[in-house]
Amino acid sequence: METLKGALIFGQSGGPSSVINSSAAGVFIEALKHKDVITNVYGAAHGIKGILDEQFYDIGAEDIKELELLKNTPSSALGSVRYKLKGADVDETDYKRLLEVFKKYNIRYFLYNGGNDSMDTCNKVSKYMQQSGYECRVMGVPKTIDNDLFGTDHCPGYGSAAKYVATSIMELKLDSTVYNTGMVCVVEVMGRNAGWLTAAAQLASYKGLGADLIYLPETPFDIDEFLQSVKDVCAKNDNKCMVVVSEGIKTKDGTYVGEFTASKTDLFGHAQLGGVGAMLANLVKEKLGVKTRAIEFSLLQRCAAHLASKVDVEEAFACGAKAVEAAVSGVTDKMVCLVRKPGKDYVCTPELMDVALAANTEKKIPESWILPAGKGLTQDYVDYALPLIQGDCKAPLEDGLPRFAHLKKVLVK
Amino acid sequence: METLKGALIFGQSGGPSSVINSSAAGVFIEALKHKDVITNVYGAAHGIKGILDEQFYDIGAEDIKELELLKNTPSSALGSVRYKLKGADVDETDYKRLLEVFKKYNIRYFLYNGGNDSMDTCNKVSKYMQQSGYECRVMGVPKTIDNDLFGTDHCPGYGSAAKYVATSIMELKLDSTVYNTGMVCVVEVMGRNAGWLTAAAQLASYKGLGADLIYLPETPFDIDEFLQSVKDVCAKNDNKCMVVVSEGIKTKDGTYVGEFTASKTDLFGHAQLGGVGAMLANLVKEKLGVKTRAIEFSLLQRCAAHLASKVDVEEAFACGAKAVEAAVSGVTDKMVCLVRKPGKDYVCTPELMDVALAANTEKKIPESWILPAGKGLTQDYVDYALPLIQGDCKAPLEDGLPRFAHLKKVLVK
């Protein structure tokens, strides 16, 4: 295999996570080791948009200490973007522009960090460069708190978000049951189509401080059954009940329960503003006459780097580094995936799979892991998820607060 | 001074905190050392209500290891209550019953943990026992995330909640500014009358990752000025703005801004459900046409023991222990308060003050510390608050999740 000499550009795409910057650190720190092959290391501002706009940072100008701190800095340090490339057959404009920029800066390595859509971007860009006869190695680095990426045992970002959800549910369970009066607490967790993150509430149940009811988008949601279940739990439990619900729960006919809230009238014609959690809390209050509280984890669940999983931080870093190693060694059109060895002990290594396979496919929770009527998940899920939330790993404290990375962000001229 | 031999009962009252159980640990562990004087150590279920109902736990039956774990277990392990005793001159029923229970179990030490109302309870109970000729030593242990208790430099519970607010604001600031599109993020923090907890957002600003605008209940809130300020920040800052707002902000005439939401129509007659943060986010969206997101810290800010301040955990414990020491040595009718030594280095010790002084008085933020028009707080506040959030101290991990205390809770027959 011939050595391909040129610049490397890396971009971050889609919703950030607690460890997306750990993958960036893995890419950057590894890339800077290959100075004989990788002439320049660039970070694209706001993903693919930064390449189109020629807005990218010279990572070689950064202090290595700050790049190390990226491991524990939440959110996308380079800025993120939601931008779906059209097919080149529909509109070639963006592709022509990308080729132009790649040529101008002799970019020969394109690494992109994200979920399904980002893998689709990798795939499309690589195909176009090949057709144009421009040699360029393209690698996908997986990321999503949703854990819905096909072909990898799990996604970097999921373990930390799951640890946040499980820990917070345990803490909320203690807090929300503190008075000698009834209280139904409805917690809303992210996840439009796959319930992986909501499922993490089961880990709290496993520790004896969990939700009483868990609702995932994978199972049709029935309002009457829900109200009956809450009623049953309340009857057994001093009118106390904790419900954890995915933002993406749908009724039998496929309508998002939260869509009623978006249209500002709920299932019962009431004016609404909050999310599906607020709507269900309000419904319980009205129908069962018990005090309720709705809590939405919102952005907190994807940026709480102070509660990151050590396993997750390290795997995210390893995925970034692996992508660079593979590309330098001649590989292209792959996504790094995590492969778990069968057996009782958790051993998981970054491997490679075709990026085209990961593009645009969603991985949902196996049906057999989901118990009916909001009763949570089986031990299979706990066995799957528990290794992913192990260990703490967070930014050093300065004045009692996290010392996150400060990048210089020197724009390439 | 004569030795007073008898049982000690301890109760927790009002909204819990991350470290209220650390004070309980301080009380219990210290009390169990004085077996020659304190014949039994009881924990009242749901505060004063548990005494009235003769529902209390035998703390002597607990494992000392579990009592130690209480230091890092959030919420009120004994259960809390919101119950305000009427004056004995208005209705003597509760007092008679308390006296009856105290006599029955030879309770000679009554320690109560809470805020202003709880200190009022201490005061009333003590006065009644004195009038009845029943010897009993009464001590208040301070607690509140609101930090509004008079006579103490700060309250146990505040440091940890402030650390949660500051850390989360830093993380949210990184996350909410990640896209190349505008975003006004409105974060709602607890605090009905005093803005101490909301002020903690200033600590994030001090670290360079803070809110752009901070609104406290201490300063009248003007909607038009608020909208103009958001507009100004957006104009300078790529349409990005982070606002932190106290749930208790009021208009010039003293009306809670959130009251409009409670009545389900806001200032502009729109239907509403969420809190004041959601209402302001919605208003900004409508008036300024920018994308918004409302985030409510809700119960998370008072139960996130995984992010507790070491200083706070230790001070809370010390306050509990001090109350027992003082009572055993003959003191009564006092509240433990934290006294900070003047000077650059932070030195703070638990001392004693009259419980009657703390009862029913609210401590607000000094006016001179508050900048106008949502511009945050002065360095005086930072100097005051920064020492309170130092260090980490959390429950040991078991399966990657916190191992909280498991009490046996053996009811006293």
Distance CA B131, CA B406 (A): 39
Answer yes or no: do B35 and B118 share one domain. Answer: yes
Task: Give contacts of B175 with chain A, Cβ < 8 Å.
Answer: 16, 74-75, 299, 302-303
Q: Kindly tell me if the per-residue pLDDT of B392 is higher than 60.
A: yes
Contact B79 A178 (CB under 8 A): yes
Task: Give me the CATH number covering residue A244.
Answer: 3.40.50.460
Chain B residues with beta carbon closer than 8 angstroms to that of A306 = 167, 171, 306-307
Q: Does B269 map to a domain?
A: yes
A250-259, B240-249, B327-336, B398-407: range with lowest mean pLDDT: A250-259
Measure the N-to-C terminal CA separation of chain B; round to a whole number of Å: 32
pLDDT in tens, A44-63: 999 999 999 999 999 999 99
Planar angle of CA B260, A182, B313, nearest 5 degrees = 85
B213-215, strands of its sheet edge to edge: B213-215, B240-246, B183-189, B292-296
- Which position has the token pair 């085209």? A356
Nearest CA in chain A to B282: A273
What number is the average pLDDT over the span B46-60?
97
**pLDDT more than 90, % of chain A:** 90
For residue B347, pLDDT over 60 is answered with: yes
In a domain, B366, yes or no: no
Residue ending a domain, choose from B255, B275, B303: B303
Q: Where does the pLDDT of residue A273 fall: very low under 50, low under 70, confident under 90, or very high at 90 and above?
A: very low
Asked whether the predicted pLDDT for residue A118 surpasses 50, the reply is: yes
Task: For residue A211, tell me if it sits in a domain.
Answer: yes
Name the more confident of B380 and B362. Answer: B380
pLDDT at A177 over 50: yes
Q: Are A199 and A217 in contact (CB under 8 A)?
A: no
**B264, pLDDT greater than 70:** no
Give the range of the structural domain holding residue B397, as residue numbers without chain letter.
6-144+305-361+392-402
A119–B contact, CB cutoff 8 A: no
Report yes or no: A64 at the B interface, CB cutoff 8 Å: no
Identify any residues that bridge with B56 across adjacent strands, giving them in sequence order: B44
Residues 75-104 in B contacting A (C-alpha not used; CB under 8 Å) = 75-76, 79-82
Same domain, A336 and A251: no
Q: Are residues B34 and B61 in the same domain?
A: yes
Mean per-residue pLDDT for A378-382?
97
List the single residue in A with minimal CA-CA distance to B50.
Answer: A180
Residue B28 Cα distances to A171, B55, B72, B124, B384, angstroms: 22, 17, 15, 24, 30
Residue B383 lies in a domain: no
How high is the pLDDT of residue B266? 44
Chain B within 8 Å of A305 (Cβ-Cβ)? yes
Residue A360, Ramachandran bin (φ over 0: left; ψ between -120 and 50: alpha; else beta): left
Beta strands in B99-220 (DSSP E): 107-114, 137-142, 183-189, 213-215
Residue B173 in this model has a pLDDT that exceeds 60: yes
Question: How large is the average pLDDT for residues B89-97?
Answer: 96
Query: Is it the case that residue B268 has pLDDT exceeding 70?
Result: no
Whether A8 contacts A41, CB under 8 Å: yes
The answer to whether the CB atoms of A171 and B390 lie below 8 A apart is: no
In 3D, which of A98, A80, A74 has the Cα closest to residue A88? A98
Distance CA B210, CA B203 (A): 7
- Closest residue by Cα to residue A223 from A296, A286, A295, A173: A286
List pLDDT tens digits, range A148-167.
999 999 999 999 999 999 99
In this structure, the number of other CB atoms found within 10 A of the CB of residue B282 comes to 20
Q: Between B263 and A11, whose confidence is greater?
A: A11
CATH value at residue A355: 3.40.50.450
Interface contact flag, B389 A398, Cβ < 8 Å:
no
Check CB contact of A397 with chain B, cutoff 8 Å: yes
3-state SS assignment for residue A265: strand
Statement: residue A362 has pLDDT above 90: no
Tell me: pLDDT of B172 over 80. yes
* pLDDT confidence of residue A84: 87
Contacts of B172 in chain A (CB under 8 A): 299-300, 303
Query: Residue B50 has what pLDDT?
Result: 97
Region B283-293 average pLDDT: 94
Bridge partners (DSSP) listed for residue A296: A188
pTM: 0.96
In this prediction, residue B359 has a pLDDT band, given cuts at 50, 70 and 90, of confident
* 3-class secondary structure, B148: coil
- The domain boundary residue, chosen from A286, A303, A320: A303
A109 and A172 both lie in a single domain? no
- Residue A295 in 3-state DSSP? strand
Look up residue A268 and give its two tokens.
Answer: 């019962």
Asked whether residue A228 carries a pLDDT value surpassing 90, the answer given is: yes
Q: Which of residues 158-217 of B touch A (CB under 8 A)?
A: 163, 166-168, 170-172, 174-180, 185, 203-204, 206-207, 209
Test B171 with A305 for CB contact under 8 angstroms: yes
Q: Which of B175, B204, B390 is the closest to A74 by Cβ?
A: B175
In a domain, A172, yes or no: yes
Alpha-carbon distance of B206 to A408, in angstroms, equals: 19
Mean pLDDT in residue range A226-233:
98
B282 Cα distance to chain centroid: 29
Same domain? A293 vs A170: yes
pLDDT category of residue B261 using cuts at 50, 70 and 90:
low
Using the 3D structure, point to which of B278, B303, B328 is the last residue of a domain.
Answer: B303
Is position B261 within any domain?
yes
Residue A75 in contact with residue B174, Cβ under 8 Å? yes
Is there a single domain that holds both residue A297 and residue A323?
no
- Cα(B399)–Cα(A163) distance, integer angstroms: 10
Assess whether pLDDT exceeds 60 at residue A266: no
Query: B1 — contact with chain A (CB < 8 Å)?
Result: no
- Say whether both A15 and A140 belong to one domain: yes
Q: Which residues of A are catalytic?
A: 146
pLDDT at residue number B273: 45
Q: Are the Cβ atoms of A293 and B299 closer than 8 angstroms?
A: yes
Same domain, B299 and B317: no
Q: Which of A368, A233, A362, A212 is nearest to A288 (CA)?
A: A233
**B75 and A163: CB-CB below 8 Å?**
no
Structure tokens at A66: 């700050």
pLDDT at residue B260 is higher than 90: no
**Using CA atoms, how far apart are residues A61 and A42, in angstroms rounded to an integer?**
10
A107-114 sheet: strands from edge to edge: A56-58, A38-44, A6-12, A107-114, A137-142, A334-340, A348-354
Structure confidence at residue B2 (pLDDT): 74
Compute the distance between CA of residue B12 and CA of residue A178 in angstroms, rounded to an integer: 10
Same domain, A129 and A169: no
Q: What's the rounded mean pLDDT across residues A73-101?
A: 95
Average pLDDT value over all residues in chain A? 94
| Number of structural domains found in chain B | 2
Burial category of B174 from C-beta neighbours within 10 Å (exposed 0-12, middle 13-18, buried 19 and up): buried
Residue A272 scores a pLDDT above 70: no
A180 and B81: CB-CB below 8 Å?
A: yes
Task: Determine whether the interchain pair B16/A82 forms a contact, defined as Cβ–Cβ distance below 8 Å.
Answer: no
At residue A106, the pLDDT reads 98
Q: How confident is the model at residue B394 (pLDDT cuts 50, 70, 90)?
A: very high
**Minimal Cα distance from A177: which residue of B?**
B79
Considering the domain boundaries, does residue B407 fall inside one?
Answer: no
Decide if pLDDT at B101 tops 80: yes
Over residues B225-244, mean pLDDT: 97
Query: Within this chain, do residues A103 and A235 fall inside the same structural domain, yes or no?
Result: no
Contact B32/A at CB under 8 A:
no
Residues B129 and B217 in one domain: no
The answer to whether residues B282 and B323 belong to one domain is no
Does B413 reside within a domain?
Answer: no
> How many angstroms away from the CA of B235 is the closest CA of chain A?
19
pLDDT of residue A382 exceeding 50, the answer is yes
